[in-house]
Each structure stands twice: as C-alpha cells, then as structure tokens.
C-alpha cells in the first residue's frame, strides 16, 4: 500500500465525547479542539456553561460538532426536548468520556465539592464512575493555577479518579506570563487519544533511540544517512500512550517531541552510545531504532577542508563506531532478564536472512527488519519481526499504527 493511499488514523472512531466548556478566554481553543476530535473520528456533544457563552457562541460549536449544543437554557438540568426531560442522565450515559476544556478554577472547585447548579456540573456528578471517565484541561491565570486551593482541588480530583491534563506556559490574556494556559488543541487531542490506548506498559521505563547519527569530517561536513527518525518517534509516542515512562535519545532530526516523552538530543554515534548506556541502567525495555553510523572519520579537521585547485582529494581514514545494541544486550540487566532488548535492521536486500543473522549476532530476543530505502523519510513502513520462535510480518501501514502493533507483540519484563 503506497504512502498516499494509507487510511487516516481515526484513533477515536466509535468514541462519543461530551465536550464541556466552562468560562474562560481559552474557550476559543475549544472550537479547534472540537473540530480535531471530529476529524479523528469521534462524535462530539458540546455542553456549555452560561459563563462559557460569554466567550464563544453555541452556534460556532454546533456547526463544528454538527449537534445541538446544550447551554445556559438548560441550566436547570431539565429539557423538554428529551423524552424523559433529563439531559444530565442521557448525556452522561451515552458518553465514552466527558472532557472539560477549558476547566476554570471555579469549575474545578465545583466538581470537587459535588456542586451541581448547572447542566455541565450536574452531568459530571451523574455520570457512572466506572464507565464514563472525566478528563479535565485546566485554564486559568498563573496565580490562580499556583494557588494552594487550586492545587489541593486538583490533588483531590485526581484521587477521586479524574484525569487532569497538564497546562501550558506562556503569555496569558491578562498580560502576565506563566503556567496555567490551556494546552493547545492538538496537544489535548494527543492526550485524549493516549487516554484510550491500552496501558500494557504501565510501570515500565522504555528507552528508545531514533534517527541517524552525524560523524563530523570538519566543522561544516559530515557523514550521515537518510533516516528521518519517524519510526523511532512513533515508537516513543506509542510507548507513552501505553503508559510507560519514555526516554528518547534522538539523533539530528527535525521532529517534534512526542507528548510526555523525555528527549535527549545527540549528534554522533559516540554521543548516542554514552547517553544510551547511561539511561539503560534504569530502563526495562530498550528499543534500538536509530540508524547508527557504523564508521566515523578517524579524526575530524578543526577547520573547513578547502580545495587547493590541484584536483587532489582529502584522504579520510575511518574507525568503527561502538555497537550500541550489542553493548546494551550484553549488560547485566539484559542478561538477567530485567531489560528486554529490541533491535532494528535497515536493510536494502535479503531482509529475512540479514535480520535473522543480525538477531543472533546482537543476541537480542526480538529483531525488527525493514527495507531502509523504502521507509526513510516516509510516514509508512512494513516490518518483519524475527524471534527465536519464528517470523511475523506486519504489512505496510502508518508508522504509528505499526509502533502500537510492535509494542503489543513483545512480553513485558517482570524484573526491576
């Protein structure tokens, strides 16, 4: 399947989200969030407080959600349009999740104390706790966010089972700068998608290497490869979605860090080796996705190498780079079963034979083979999973979908 014919992700297909808006200037972001949720396959029912209607009209949200918006005219919690007159019951029972974005400091306090003086707070209180999760995206002034009362409320809401997404930092509508901004719509979309993913890596610490390395010849030139890092970044995102703590050691690539992932930027293979070995001491799963250069110039010139007009070419000598995967696989943690190692092989031919040989040479339980020229820089890939027990093919698909399938395929370490 070619890259341009891949099916869209639609990670929220079949999900019904009640999107609640409480009062705050961040309501303008709710319009884009609603659109993003719908685009990702969800059906969205918007419920607004009276204060929210001061910042954005129900008509806007109705157009984006293609559903009638429940607002201040339903403040009592009853509505003659409903067969039983009880939208707070019907809306909460139909939802796969209730997402409050923005959630003001006042509304969070209201939820904490179980107050239900408008439809949105009423349906949050009436939701079946074991079936309908409550997700909150706070939005407020930096002083309100930092206030002990808000922090206490947030702690108790989490203890009650509410999922609270983080806040952004930056310029605020009041003219001040700091924490408390509502996350951007696409950040919230990622968090909602991650919420619904199975948490089979909860409690695990996943270490991922991604991208190429750059081996300097002089200050302006070097040896690298065509790896874009997209596969490794997709794996890091999928691991975080699955509930893991994720550390990503990234070579020189121009990709945004996945939400919730700790990123360490490196350049050369030696830099990547040092960072990986250090963090492998605390990891339980290591996934070596990076296309590490096998060799580097024996010495790099301190100044740009210039042509002298004679036609003579620079004479470069090379030395072998350290083998990151092999070194980690030989570590005590890996040998004792406390660290599960996954290797990647980017081949140009004979994928099965080369992948099987590399798995044995590196002594890892799982080796993932792919054809480098067919995947470098692309958004899709096809993988070959090689273990001691056999071979599994993962057909061409988006790299994120493949990353999720890959994570679902290997056993979870039980050691610490």
CATH number of the domain within which 357 lies: 3.40.50.10300
- How many structural domains does the chain have? 2
184, pLDDT greater than 70: yes
This prediction's pTM: 0.90
End-to-end CA distance of the chain: 41
Is 389 among the domain residues? yes
Cβ neighbours for 377, distance < 8 A, ≥ 6 positions apart: 226, 228, 230
What sign does the dihedral 356-358-361-366 (CA atoms) show?
negative
Of 218, 208, 376, residue with least CA distance to 296: 218
CA separation for the pair 53, 28 (Å, rounded): 11
CATH of the domain at 189: 3.40.50.1950
Between 195 and 410, name the one with better pLDDT.
195
Boundary residue ending a domain (174, 196, 218): 196
Same-domain check for residues 99 and 241: no
Q: How confident is the model at residue 76 (pLDDT cuts 50, 70, 90)?
A: low
Cβ neighbours for 182, distance < 8 A, ≥ 6 positions apart: 24, 26, 29, 101, 102, 137, 138, 139, 167, 168, 188
CA separation for the pair 241, 54 (Å, rounded): 35
Q: Where are the beta strands (DSSP E) in 289-388?
A: 295-297, 318-320, 340-347, 366-371, 380-387
Least confident span in 44-53, 85-94, 249-258, 286-295: 85-94
pLDDT value at residue 134: 98
| Mean pLDDT on 194-203 | 95
| Mean pLDDT on 182-208 | 96
Is 416 among the domain residues? no
Is 1 among the domain residues? no
Boundary residue ending a domain (133, 167, 196): 196
Q: Which domain holds residue 243?
A: 205-293+313-409
Tell me the per-residue pLDDT of 364-407, one tens digit each, with 9 for 90 and over.
999 999 988 888 889 999 999 999 999 999 999 999 999 999 99
Same-domain check for residues 185 and 215: no
- Catalytic annotation on 124? no
Same-domain check for residues 325 and 362: yes
Same-domain check for residues 252 and 332: yes
| Cβ–Cβ < 8 Å for 44, 67 | yes
Is 6 among the domain residues? no
CA separation for the pair 139, 142 (Å, rounded): 9
Share of the chain above pLDDT 90, in %: 80
Is 308 among the domain residues? no
Is 305 among the domain residues? no
Same-domain check for residues 177 and 216: no
245, pLDDT greater than 50: yes
Share of the chain above pLDDT 70, in %: 94
CA separation for the pair 159, 175 (Å, rounded): 33
315, pLDDT greater than 70: yes
Q: Say which of 27, 34, 124, 174 is annotated catalytic.
A: 174
| Mean pLDDT on 43-68 | 96
Same-domain check for residues 215 and 169: no
| Mean pLDDT on 256-266 | 96
CA distances from 246 to 285, 363, 400 (A): 10, 23, 16
Same-domain check for residues 373 and 390: yes
1, pLDDT greater than 50: no
pLDDT value at residue 73: 67
Same-domain check for residues 214 and 132: no
Mean pLDDT of the chain: 92
pLDDT value at residue 415: 55
| Cβ–Cβ < 8 Å for 260, 163 | no
Instruction: Give 212-241 as a DSSP string.
Output: B--EEEETTEEE-----SHHHHHHHHHHHH
Same-domain check for residues 341 and 260: yes
| Cβ–Cβ < 8 Å for 127, 134 | yes
Is 301 among the domain residues? no
DSSP strand pairing (16-21 vs 97-103)? parallel
Same-domain check for residues 163 and 263: no
pLDDT value at residue 173: 86
Is 48 among the domain residues? yes
What sign does the dihedral 88-92-95-98 (CA atoms) show?
positive
Radius of gyration of the CA atoms of the chain, in A: 26
Between 210 and 415, name the one with better pLDDT.
210
Tell me the per-residue pLDDT of 80-109, one tens digit each, with 9 for 90 and over.
565 555 677 878 889 999 999 999 999 999
Tell me the per-residue pLDDT of 124-143, one tens digit each, with 9 for 90 and over.
999 999 999 999 999 999 99
Boundary residue ending a domain (173, 196, 219): 196
191, pLDDT greater than 80: yes
Same-domain check for residues 144 and 250: no
């Amino acid at each position: 399947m070619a890259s341009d014919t891949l099916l869209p992700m639609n990670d929220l297909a079949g999900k019904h989200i009640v999107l609640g808006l409480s009062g705050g200037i961040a309501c303008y972001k709710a319009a884009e969030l609603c659109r993003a949720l719908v685009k990702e396959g969800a059906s969205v029912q918007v419920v607004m407080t009276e204060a929210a209607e001061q910042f954005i009209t129900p008509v806007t949200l109705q157009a984006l959600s293609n559903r009638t918006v429940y607002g201040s005219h339903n403040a009592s919690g009853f509505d003659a349009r409903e067969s039983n007159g009880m939208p707070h019951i019907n809306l909460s029972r139909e939802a796969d999740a209730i997402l409050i974005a923005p959630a003001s400091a006042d509304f969070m306090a209201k939820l904490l104390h179980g107050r239900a003086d408008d439809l949105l707070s009423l349906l949050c209180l009436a939701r079946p706790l074991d079936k309908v999760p409550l997700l909150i995206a706070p939005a407020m002034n930096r002083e309100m966010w930092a206030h002990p009362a808000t922090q206490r409320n947030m702690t108790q809401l989490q203890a009650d089972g509410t999922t609270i997404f983080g806040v952004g930092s930056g310029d605020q509508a009041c003219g001040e700068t700091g924490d408390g901004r509502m996350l951007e719509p696409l950040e919230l979309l990622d968090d909602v998608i991650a919420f619904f993913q199975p948490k089979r890596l909860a409690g695990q610490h996943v270490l991922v290497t991604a991208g190429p390395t750059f081996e300097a010849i002089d200050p302006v030139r070097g040896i690298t490869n065509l790896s874009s890092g997209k596969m490794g970044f997709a794996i890091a995102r999928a691991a975080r979605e699955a509930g893991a703590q994720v550390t990503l050691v990234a070579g020189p690539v121009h990709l945004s860090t996945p939400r919730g992932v700790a990123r360490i930027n490196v350049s050369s293979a030696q830099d990547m080796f040092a960072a990986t070995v250090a963090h492998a001491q605390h990891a339980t799963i290591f996934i070596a996705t990076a296309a590490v250069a096998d060799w580097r110039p024996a010495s790099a010139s301190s100044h740009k190498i210039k042509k002298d007009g004679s036609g003579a070419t620079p004479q470069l000598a090379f030395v072998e780079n350290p083998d990151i995967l092999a070194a980690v696989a030989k570590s005590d943690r890996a040998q004792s079963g406390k660290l599960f190692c996954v290797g990647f092989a980017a081949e140009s031919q004979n994928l099965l034979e080369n992948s099987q040989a590399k798995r044995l040479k590196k002594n890892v339980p799982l080796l993932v083979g792919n054809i480098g020229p067919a995947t470098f820089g692309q958004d899709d890939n096809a993988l070959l999973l090689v273990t001691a027990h056999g071979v599994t093919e993962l057909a061409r698909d988006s790299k994120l979908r493949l990353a999720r399938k890959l994570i679902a395929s290997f056993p979870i370490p039980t050691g610490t």
